[in-house]
Structure 1
Amino acid sequence: MTEPTPPHDAPRITDSHCHLDFPDFAGETGQIVARARAAGVHRMVTICTRLRNEPQVRAIAEAHDGVFYAAGTHPMSAAEEPMATVDELVALARHPKFVGIGETGLDYHYTADSAEVQQTSLRIHIAAARETGLPLIIHARDADEDMARILTEEHRAGAYSCVMHCFSSGAGLARAALDLGFYLSMSGIAAFPKSGDLRAIFAAAPVDRILLETDAPYLAPPPHRGRRNEPAYTAHTAKAGAEVFGMTLADFAAQTERNFERLFSRAARASSLAGAA
């Protein structure tokens, strides 16, 4: 299914992390994707958070040009879902629109009681990222010390690539991730008025390691804060990011596109082939 092309004056942007299979979007996926394209968001990665839902997420990616997908077990679900295996994740990664491993990670905010299970799951996902060469997609909340330790230990055991999705942790974890060559992704949180400390962390990072995302349907940036988020609103976060880095919107959007294509190289190749068709 080919969606409308964006207007010529809209910079091309990628929403590197959204959840198009969530009930919030039921029956509206086509309209959501069309609105994204109209806002210049020409590419999206929709994330599967429970492997049993992978077929539905895959179907969404297959149905829409410019929509790719990733799959893993969200840390908040790690204790209630069957433990993923490296072989299972590697098998899923054979699909041409499968572009990342995760989201996985650690979340001690509500689910600290499953910390050990989360850590085991995280290491399995890292092994799959290492084997496939696809980027790891990390969710981190209230677990900075363990997250930095595990990512560093595993990287010493064998290199892999990674994005810290919806980054809103502390400066220490940001530095640890950047030191490993990883990327930080800006969500609508970075555009919230009271997120000055977070914007300072981003401002201290190399601009060639920044991605954009919505985490839709959550965390809508102003002027939509408090309502359902959707990929089209990545454009608002891009404007906030351009201000953080003192760049024009066009230049910042172009830089984040290069960053995304460097990290998510499978999506970049597929987009290139589609454009040449």
Structure 2
Amino acid sequence: MNPGNHEPPALVDTHAHLDAPRLRDDLPAVLERARTAGVRQIVAIGTTAEDSEAVTKIARDYAGVFAAVGIHPNDVFEATPEDWQRVLALLEEPNVVALGETGLDRYWDRTPFSQQQEWFERHLELGRESGLPLVIHCRDSQQDLIAQLTRFKGPVHGVLHSFTGSWEDAQAFLDLGLHLSFAGMVTFTNRTLDSLREVAARVPLDRLLVETDSPYLSPHPHRGATNEPARVTFTAERLAQLHTLSLAEFSQITTSNAQRVFKLPADQTL
């Protein structure tokens, strides 16, 4: 699955929903394809208490997989106090490296926005207490998110995942101390996404990460198909081109970034 004629890179997929049925039901093969493509480590993302427990078990069972635990803004409407306690209990697991997916979302209306803000604050406080980075979701709510992070008076450690905002948004998040991660949309052939590629090209290399958000957002030329961690190579190659780097150079930089942000041990690989 590695694009072009390059040697396999050494990449970290910083955002994959490995517990999703489309991946979980074929997980050994999914991880083997990732390893063959050059993916060395994966951060598996929880969105509910149940999902968080599932990705933590995957991280326990498979070398090179690490877990983020938390409640997604679109799922907090159904979350209970017991669910939060389940998330807190998972912090004792050695391969839990982040909190999330948390954040804000105005695109869907499943959860009242004030409740999303309350739970995002809860994750922020937990991040401060635990020292764990946050994996932050932001959809149609950039200004709300910037305002809440600014009120929090940081520092805020973590990543704005699958970034799709403007350069002004990017600057604000960078000023707040966050890293920015890009997914398959930077590879799509739509001219309307040229502005996103322009933003990606301007992000400082030491604050840049790459992800799949699998099983979603499969990159070109696999757009519309089920995404998986092996395909992070396509997104990485496009981002490398935008920064006028070789894939090997880009992989070395972003892997170092990911291992620093999530404190991933370099010797634990797929």
1:53 Cα deviation from its structure 2 partner: 2.8
Q: Does 1:176 align with 2:172?
A: yes
Alpha-carbon spacing, 1:86–1:54, altered in 2? closer, same or farther (3 Å): closer
1:253 aligns with 251
53-62 or 221-230, larger mean C-alpha shift: 53-62
Q: TM-score, normalised by structure 2?
A: 0.92
1:54 Cα deviation from its structure 2 partner: 2.6
2:211 aligns with 213
Q: Which has the higher contact order (CA 8 A, sep 6+)?
A: 2
1:52 Cα deviation from its structure 2 partner: 2.5
- Aligned residues of 2:102 and 2:135 also touching (Cα < 8 A): yes
- Equivalences for 1:215-234 in 2 at 5 Å? 215-234=213-232
Match of 2:112, SS state, is: helix
Deviations 1:103-148 (A, max 9, x none): 0000100127610010001000011111111110000000111100
State the Cα RMSD in Å: 1.8
115-124 or 24-33, larger mean C-alpha shift: 24-33
Match of 1:75, SS state, is: coil
The answer for unaligned runs of 5 or more in structure 1 is 1-7
Alpha-carbon distance in structure 1 between the residues aligned to 2:47 and 2:122: 15
1:89 Cα deviation from its structure 2 partner: 4.3
2:119 aligns with 121
Alpha-carbon distance in structure 2 between the residues aligned to 1:113 and 1:222: 32
Letter of the structure 1 residue corresponding to residue 71 of structure 2:
T
- Aligned residues of 2:104 and 2:145 also touching (Cα < 8 A): yes
1:90 Cα deviation from its structure 2 partner: 4.3
Match of 2:180, SS state, is: strand
1:4 aligns with none
Deviations 1:219-276 (A, max 9, x none): 00011101000000000000000011111111011000111111111x2x3x33x47x
1:91 Cα deviation from its structure 2 partner: 3.4
- Equivalences for 1:195-206 in 2 at 5 Å? 195-206=193-204
2:45 aligns with 47
Alpha-carbon distance in structure 2 between the residues aligned to 1:114 and 1:97: 32
Alpha-carbon spacing, 1:228–1:38, altered in 2? closer, same or farther (3 Å): same
1:189 aligns with 185
Alpha-carbon distance in structure 2 between the residues aligned to 1:173 and 1:126: 19
The answer for unaligned runs of 5 or more in structure 2 is 1-5
Match of 2:77, SS state, is: coil
Percent of aligned pairs with the same residue? 38
Alpha-carbon distance in structure 2 between the residues aligned to 1:81 and 1:118: 11
Alpha-carbon distance in structure 2 between the residues aligned to 1:186 and 1:253: 14
Alpha-carbon spacing, 1:240–1:84, altered in 2? closer, same or farther (3 Å): farther
1:173 Cα deviation from its structure 2 partner: 2.1
How many aligned positions are there? 262
Alpha-carbon spacing, 1:116–1:214, altered in 2? closer, same or farther (3 Å): same
- Aligned residues of 1:17 and 1:214 also touching (Cα < 8 A): yes
- Aligned residues of 1:89 and 1:128 also touching (Cα < 8 A): no
Alpha-carbon distance in structure 2 between the residues aligned to 1:248 and 1:176: 28
1:56 Cα deviation from its structure 2 partner: 1.9
Alpha-carbon distance in structure 2 between the residues aligned to 1:204 and 1:83: 41
- Equivalences for 1:162-173 in 2 at 5 Å? 162-173=158-169
2:15 aligns with 17
Alpha-carbon spacing, 1:232–1:179, altered in 2? closer, same or farther (3 Å): same
Match of 1:153, SS state, is: helix
Alpha-carbon distance in structure 2 between the residues aligned to 1:58 and 1:259: 22
Alpha-carbon distance in structure 1 between the residues aligned to 2:142 and 2:110: 13
Alpha-carbon distance in structure 2 between the residues aligned to 1:213 and 1:63: 21
